[in-house]
Amino acid sequence: MIVGERKPFSEILSMVEDYSKILVIGCGSCVTVCMAGGEEEVKILASQLRLAFRKNKRDVKVEEAMALRQCDDEYLNDPLLLDKVKAADIVISMACGVGVQHATSFFNRRIPDKPIRVVPGLNTTFMGANLDVGIWEERCVGCGDCVLEKTGGICPVTRCAKSLLNGPCGGSSNGKCEINKEIDCAWHLIIERLEALGELDRLKPIEPYKDWRPSHNGGPRKTVREDIRI
């Protein structure tokens, strides 16, 4: 899932303090699961804003709303949500960066007579897994050319600090990475896993340079599935 963290309250407040009608929209998918931008977090942020404004004798209206997925037109195209967006001076999107951008684009397409200002309530941190209650860790950088079949299901592109394809480097010590003793050496894990699978021979061939063109280096990537388009 995409993991996010809420921005500090002072930063959010500075984005919206000049406005008098604020709408906070949560996202019901990834950021709900990582407890950063779901319904409860929307209630908390809206409450905090109302408390801060009322304490400073400011008459500011703070509304709350949810969209199941802010990265999809289908879930933003809700008449009740659009009415709330129209009535607001500024929208705080508690989705990931994808949701914030898509909501900006969608609301401005659907409400052409009023420019809609959308600001982020979260910092989008990474694509990761939920390791335990309240713990998430990055597992994929979206390089566009998956190598997991060669590395026992452990990604060296994401989990090795140097993204080495022929590891480990000299900084691996007792299974840990030299950059931080809390971080496992991805190549140590890969060798352990391949050994358990009896597939250590997979590491004999030298991997050539990685082709980074499918990664972000070529600008924003796009997928078009003609087979499902009408």
- Least distance to another protein from the beta carbon of 2, Å? 23
| Among the listed residues 55, 181, 204, 222, the single contact to another protein using CB under 8 A | 55
| Among the listed residues 20, 37, 38, 50, the single contact to another protein using CB under 8 A | 50
Which residue, 54 or 202, has its beta carbon nearer to another protein?
54
Provide φ and ψ at 181, rounded to 5°: -70, -10
State how far Cα 62 lies from the chain centre: 25
* Total count of residues recorded for the chain: 230
| Among the listed residues 14, 43, 77, 109, the single contact to another protein using CB under 8 A | 43
Which residue, 12 or 194, has its beta carbon nearer to another protein?
12
HEC assignment per residue over 59-87:
CCEEEEEEECCCCCHHHHCCHHHHHHHHH
Q: Which amino acid is at 118?
A: V
| Among the listed residues 44, 111, 196, 197, the single contact to another protein using CB under 8 A | 44
| Among the listed residues 15, 33, 52, 82, the single contact to another protein using CB under 8 A | 52
60 binds another protein (CB under 8 A): no
Determine the Cα–Cα distance for residues 160 and 185; give it in Å rounded to an integer. 7
| Among the listed residues 1, 9, 17, 127, the single contact to another protein using CB under 8 A | 9
Q: Contact at 8 Å (CB) between 3 and 36?
A: yes
Determine the Cα–Cα distance for residues 134 and 114; give it in Å rounded to an integer. 40
* Residue spans of beta strands (DSSP E) within 77-157: 90-93, 118-120, 122-132, 135-140
Which residue, 47 or 166, has its beta carbon nearer to another protein?
47
Residues that bind another protein (CB under 8 A): 8-10, 40, 43-44, 47-48, 50-52, 54-56
